[in-house]
Amino acid sequence: MKLNKDKWQSAISFGGGLKSKEERKEYDKYVCVDLGKKDSAKNIINADIGVDLNHMGRLPFKDKSFDVVIIRNIAEHLLNIFPLVTEAHRLARKKVIIAVPNALSYDNRIGILFGKNLCYPRPFDEMTSHHIYFDEKALNSFCKRFFSEFRIIKKTYYCKGRFATILKNFISLRPTLFATEIEYEIEK
């Protein structure tokens, strides 16, 4: 995702360690907050601050110190989302980007037919399991509840997975059915 460098100069990304190399190039100041050096699958994470996001305290930054706060594909993994939301709200000066998997996507609906269980996390693997399931309605409610003074300026729907090349052509017809991921940009 490319943003206008003149307008957005600083960003903090929560849970974006695996993507931080690409995101880092987009900003003059960029900080990644994630688990640490490796996740449970032994993937290398490029975190500047290693912390358990379930139990995160106040980070060493002043209020409103980042133009953009990025919460991409991490909210659904957390057992306790409130520390993340509290810090994101405190640190956001202008914009928040929130991306979550769509629980009601075609991919999950097909998975349910073949025994995929969306309701319960896998035991003993809490950071790779989804504990919160979002669809578009839930994401709208989340934004209204936790970022009430922000307004949604852009909704983006992504189609990834098994049949993405075929089904991405249908996203414009029923985005909530065909999108595997929903991303909102909200701004003050």
Q: Do 92 and 146 meet the contact criterion of CB atoms below 8 Å apart?
A: no
The strand order across the sheet containing 151-158 reads 49-50, 29-34, 10-14, 66-72, 92-101, 181-187, 151-158
The domain ranges of the chain are 10-187
Enter the CATH code of domain 10-187. 3.40.50.150
Alpha-carbon distances of 168 from 7, 157, 161, rounded to whole Å: 31, 9, 10
Residue 102: per-residue pLDDT: 84
In whole angstroms, what is the distance from residue 146 CA to residue 144 CA? 6
Written as tens digits, the pLDDT of the chain (188 aa) is 455 544 568 999 998 766 666 777 788 888 888 876 555 555 556 778 888 888 888 999 999 999 999 998 888 888 888 889 999 999 999 999 999 888 877 777 777 777 666 554 455 455 557 777 888 888 999 899 999 999 999 999 888 877 778 777 888 888 878 888 899 999 98
